[in-house]
Amino acid sequence: MMRKGTLLFSLALILSFGGSLLQATLVPRMSVEQMIDDSELIVHGTVLRSWSGWDRARQFIWTHYELQVSDMIKGLPSARLVVSEPGGIVGETAMQIAGAPRYEVGEEVVLFLNRTPIGYLRSCGWGQGKFGVSSLGGAGPVVRAAAAGVSFVEAQGEQPAELEKARTPITSFSGLTLAEFKTRLRTLIRARAAGEGR
């Protein structure tokens, strides 16, 4: 049986290469709670360098980004890690995947990361798990949702109605100061861990 992540990746490839009229990848809209549950790691850090290469099976090109971790919000502590997103250029071969997030060297981010079936760490929900950090002065750095090149569809029938109402939209976290963003995240992570322990 094809795993959900593999299915979404295959769908994105079809949408990306299927025709010039398709400009975005369709992905299920995720809540903050869903991203927390799906994430192996949640990190705050800065992009140090990037490079592209084929996966082991030489089916897809991936671009890899080394991240200097300044704060591990969820997961085991690590000073550096590599985040990988589909698409990139190797030699004369280019592969572009609509909706796959890109990062710039020096960019400061908070990332919700899950592990792909081939072992790479990548952002949850086709970029929904990427938040850019920018310094605007005043109250300090601000965090903004950074998903681009995707169109969201609402998942239906996955949860009882009362649970769906309790989901926190990602947009409610966008625009918070970095400090408040982390505080709210850690509160939700603790609450969800406590709920699982019952």
Residues 6+ away with beta carbon under 8 Å from 173:
32, 131, 143, 145, 181, 184, 185
Say how far apart CA 77 and CA 54 lie, in whole Å.
Answer: 28
Domains of the chain, by residue range, sit at: 23-196
Render pLDDT for 125-184 as a digit per residue (tens, 0 to 9). Answer: 988 999 999 987 677 899 999 877 667 787 665 555 544 546 889 888 999 999 999 999
Q: DSSP readout, 116-138?
A: -TTS-EEETTTTTTEEEEEE-ST
Angle at the Cα of 165 (from 161 to 167), degrees rounded to 5? 120
The reported pLDDT for the residue numbered 111 is: 97
How many CB atoms are located within 10 Å of the residue 16 CB?
A: 21
Helices (H), 23-177: 32-38, 161-165
Render pLDDT for 80-127 as a digit per residue (tens, 0 to 9). Answer: 999 999 999 999 999 998 889 999 999 999 999 999 999 999 999 988
List the beta bridge partners of residue 187: none
Question: Is the pLDDT score of 12 beyond 50?
Answer: no
Residue 104, amino acid: E
User: What DSSP character marks residue 158?
Assistant: S
Give the pLDDT mean for 194-198.
Answer: 67
